[in-house]
Amino acid sequence: MDKIIVHGGRALAGTVKISGSKNSALPILAATLLTKEPCVIHRVPDLSDVHYMLQILNHLGAEVERASGVVTVKAEKVSTVAPYDVVRKMRASVCVLGPLLGREKEATVSLPGGCVIGDRPIDLHLRGFESLGTAVRVHAGDIKVFAPRLRGASISLKGKFGSTVLGTDNVMMAAVLADGVTVIQDAASEPEVVDLANFLNKMGAKIEGAGSSRIVIEGVPELHSAEHEVIPDRIEAGTFLIAGAIAGKEVTITRVNSQHLTAITNALESSGYEISGNNGSLTIQPNGTLKPLNLRTEPYPGFPTDMQAQMCALLATAQGESAVTENIFPQRFMHISELKRMGAAIELDGATAKICGVDGLSGAPVMASDLRASAALVLAGLKAEGMTEINRVYHIDRGYELIDEKLGGLGAHIERVKV
């Protein structure tokens, strides 16, 4: 097990390239199960979650080749069973349910694992499958789905805390091979859903409306091979923008889609940072005193829940009082206790973190609880005086490609140590 040690106080400057999106790559790789023909996916990030997904595809019978960010998958024959030992490490493994159901009309997948950030049920996925004519059974930790045939239907995927991204992905992948037309109401509109829909359309699917709350899918008899490039990771991009905000002189991120980052850049500009650039790159630099903010996480295009922890790290030293309300996963605040170990003044009031800015943070041993909390602790370490030791960094390797090397390239004093 590795740990990351950050020696704070170094000013960051320079350029960093953003990797392909984890949250796009995982369902797109799962979607290759929908055809017997080979599919080629470019700009696949080198992450532990991606490794797990490729292992799952291998277990299901697919031939997988990987070289320099390019993954080729040929699923000529597939198994329909993904047991616990295969899927336990990653919640996104549940997204193989949709393509297996669409192609084979049955699947058995163990309930997945992943980050501990509160209850994240998959009842909306299963409700969508049932609307398509699927029998669903959850027994002994396994999800079993079966349908003699899939029939198009009108489906709502609205949940207690908004639309479900993976649920939209899963139902969309099953519906592309259903008979008739499927209409997904209250669909998630995140760019990653659009990316998956674009890939499916390249495979011969007929999907319209991705990126809106209403997606229309006309079922087709079969899909074929396709080649696709994964979109840039907007959460990695946002994390490096905050790195530039928290400790930078002038940091530029490249290979980004700035339209996907509007909520993040708006928040940073409101807190006193100057951001410039174009659709392919963005530059952030200080512009006076860091100002406090009131933020609420919302489904896209609102401020993303996956950036909440990083923003808490930034606002910890904003003079005045800030408030960050978590509307997607109200229990997603396990990083708060670790930031307080570093000197942050943060109190929880229900689903709101009330942050009273302090003059500075101090390095301390801290424990990563989940993927984005890990990133927040690294960012706080960049700002803190002294040494911050972040344990359990296997979490950060799930979603950030070479984060220590990329930050080191910007001038951070950061090292990875084997324990």
At 341, which amino acid appears? R
Mark whether 115 is an active-site residue: yes
- Expressed in angstroms, the distance from the first to the final Cα of the chain is 6
Rg of the Cα atoms in the chain:
21
28 to 40, 84, 172, 272, 276: CA distances (angstroms): 10, 22, 12, 37, 31
287 to 253, 254, 290, 291: CA distances (angstroms): 18, 21, 8, 10
Q: Is 414 exposed, middle or buried (0-12, 13-18, 19+ CB in 10 A)?
A: buried
Q: Where are the alpha helices (DSSP H) in 222-333?
A: 234-247, 262-270, 308-315
Antiparallel, parallel or unpaired: β 281-286 and 273-277: antiparallel
Tokens standing for 262? Answer: 């509007």
Helix axes 165-175, 191-202, angle to 10 degrees: 10
At 103, which amino acid appears? R
Which of 39, 95, 115, 312 is catalytic? The answer is 115
Give Cβ neighbours of residue 193 (< 8 Å, ≥ 6 apart): 165, 168, 169, 172, 187, 210, 211
- Rounded to 5 degrees, φ, ψ at 7 are -100, 110
CA dihedral of 271, 312, 169, 164, whole degrees rounded to 10: -100
- Rounded to 5 degrees, φ, ψ at 84 are -60, -45
CA dihedral of 216, 220, 225, 227, whole degrees rounded to 10: -10
Question: Which has the closest alpha carbon to 175: 153, 148, 159?
Answer: 153
CA separation for the pair 215, 381 (Å, rounded): 42
Tokens standing for 414? Answer: 């950061």
CA separation for the pair 70, 89 (Å, rounded): 23
CA separation for the pair 239, 143 (Å, rounded): 35
At 177, which amino acid appears? L
Active site residues: 115
